[in-house]
Structure 1
């Protein structure tokens, strides 16, 4: 594919992922089918006809979680998200910053990403959404790894460069949680396609 076509396609992909992730955390969902896998959990989030599937690590920090999420019908567009609990519910929805980030599993390759910092009105969470060209490679590394390292390059126009912000999450149980999350997503998508197949529309 010509390089000239890659940029608009990539932009469209990021827009889709951003919309999906915003939908998934902007509303309180019902949690079902939760199962623990060492330091990770997998679960289904539902609200009406909406279905999201999540693998989440809440072991490493008392006030922060790392999750991989997928949405029914677009299971092949998962996204990586970090949530930090704040002291109070936020008064407005806002994008606070967009900063470079680095992601590495164990001593593996350092992968570059962009982290978008977001708050949502009525939510006590501070969210970082990661846009990563090599997300599939990161997920593959996570399945075989022990720890995931994140580094955010924080800077502002007024304050200049600041020390990077580092976080480390355990990957104990990530392999099982990710497989179960993705399996549930694709299984439900397949079930929906069968139930609405030819000859069923008028039943």
Structure 2
């Protein structure tokens, strides 16, 4: 996807970066209330007064997870994140790249996204944060699907064409994990309804 087509999507979605809590940048949190749902888990993450809720698939790869995360009082702004375990802890916190990505559930519609690649000092993870205009629709599809497909366009220029990097995650248990994550977030929130609208 050409950069000129990415710019409008980036402009709308990068606004959301300022709304992402510290969890999105690889802070270590206390994990509690974990429950297994087939290939997925749901859990609560806390650090001081911060509370986040996560549904995570940790089955498909030994060194990678896919998660959907929500934050207390802004439950209507979930985000999608992939983590790949690296061989060593990183020396710097850095945004390494922002690349086009494609997401799809089963044989459904291929949706364009932007993936921001991040490392965090002292963490052995490589993180990809996804900005997707139709995230609510994608999450609905995930509840009903069997597999979640990701593809990253890794070429750095038109002359440097590389094969896309593909990953596939199981959705067995995603519906239960996402439902429990969302229920826990809204139950724990000050608001009585969707996120910011009722604060």
Same-fold status (TM-score > 0.5):
yes
- Equivalenced residue count is 186
Larger Rg: 1
Secondary structure at the aligned position of 1:82 is classed as strand
Q: Is the counterpart of residue 32 in structure 1 residue 32 in structure 2? A: yes
Match of 2:105 in 1: 105
Shift of 1:22: 4.5
How does 1:50-129 map onto structure 2 within 5 Å?
A: 50-129=50-129
Q: Which runs of 5+ in 1 are unaligned?
A: 1-6, 195-203
Does structure 2 retain, via aligned residues, the 8 Å contact 1:56–1:65? yes
Q: Does the CA contact (< 8 Å) of 2:53 and 2:185 recur in 1?
A: yes
Residues of 2 paired with 1:113 and 1:24: CA distance?
A: 17
2:156 and 2:76 map into 1 onto residues whose CA distance is 34
User: What is the SS of the residue equivalent to 1:161?
Assistant: coil
Q: What value does the CA root-mean-square deviation take over the aligned residues?
A: 2.2
Greater relative contact order (Cα < 8 A, sep 6+): 2
Aligned to 1:184: 184
Separation in structure 2 between the aligned mates of residue 155 and residue 53 of structure 1, nearest angstrom: 34
1:42 counterpart = 2:48:
no
Q: Would the aligned equivalents of 1:45 and 1:53 in 2 still touch at CA under 8 Å?
A: yes
- Kept in 1: contact 2:73–2:191 (CA 8 A): no
**C-alpha separation in 1, matches of 2:83 and 2:181:** 18
Once the two structures are TM-superposed, the CA of residue 88 in structure 1 deviates from its matched residue by: 0.2
Deviation per CA, 1:20-77, whole angstroms, max 9, x where unpaired? 2554443210000000000000000001100000000000000000000000111000
Cα distance in 2 for residues equivalent to 1:110 and 1:157: 23
Query: Partner residue of 1:199?
Result: none
Structure 2 unmatched runs, 5+: 1-6, 193-199
